[in-house]
């Protein structure tokens, strides 16, 4: 065999090894792409129902928030009505009731006034923190 023939065989063997290596790489790449496609399909199959459930949940939450808003505005209206009613009742009955109570107290005092019921005078004492001081003595007026 001549040198040219050996070189040709070496080149052919080199190309055969290179093509075989590329074929293995392409087969592996095809397997990876197939697995990726399958994974994406499964994720899509699971994600679509989850997104639908999330959308339903958001709609339900919005409905509940609308209800809470309506309830809060109703409570605010009831509170303002109760405040107005309380103010009206206090204005309408408060003054006259105080006057009636004062009149009744005056009548009781006037009817219950007996000389025996009069309170007896007691000596006044001034209190200073920690001790008691006797009441001031009255000076006798010279007359």
Question: Whole-angstrom Cα distance, residue 86 to residue 110?
Answer: 34
Cβ-count burial of 44 within 10 angstroms (0-12 exposed, 13-18 middle, 19+ buried)? exposed
Looking at residue 67, what is its pLDDT?
Answer: 94
Q: Is the pTM of this model over 0.75?
A: no
What average pLDDT does this structure show over 107-114? Answer: 80
The predicted-structure confidence for 35-77, as pLDDT tens digits, reads as follows 999 999 999 899 888 999 999 999 999 999 999 999 999 999 9
pLDDT at 87 over 80: yes
Residues contacting 110, CB < 8 A, separation 6+: none
Q: Can you state the percent helix, strand and coil of the chain, rounding each to 5? A: 75, 5, 20
How many residues can be counted in the chain?
Answer: 143
Question: Whole-angstrom Cα distance, residue 83 to residue 80?
Answer: 5
What average pLDDT does this structure show over 12-17? Answer: 94
């Amino acid at each position: 065999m001549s040198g040219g023939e050996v070189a040709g065989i070496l080149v052919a063997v080199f190309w055969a090894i290179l093509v075989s290596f590329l074929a293995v790489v392409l087969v592996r790449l095809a397997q990876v792409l197939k697995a990726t496609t399958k994974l994406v399909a499964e994720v899509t199959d699971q994600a679509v129902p989850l997104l639908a459930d999330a959308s339903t949940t958001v709609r339900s939450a919005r409905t509940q928030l609308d209800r809470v808003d309506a309830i809060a505005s109703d409570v605010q209206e009831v509170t303002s009505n109760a405040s107005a009613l309380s103010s009206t009742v206090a204005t309408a009955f408060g003054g006259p009731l105080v006057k009636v109570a004062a009149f009744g107290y005056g009548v009781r005092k006037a009817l219950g006034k007996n000389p025996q019921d009069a309170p007896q005078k007691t000596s006044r004492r001034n209190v200073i923190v920690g001790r008691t001081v006797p009441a001031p003595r009255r000076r006798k007026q010279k007359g």
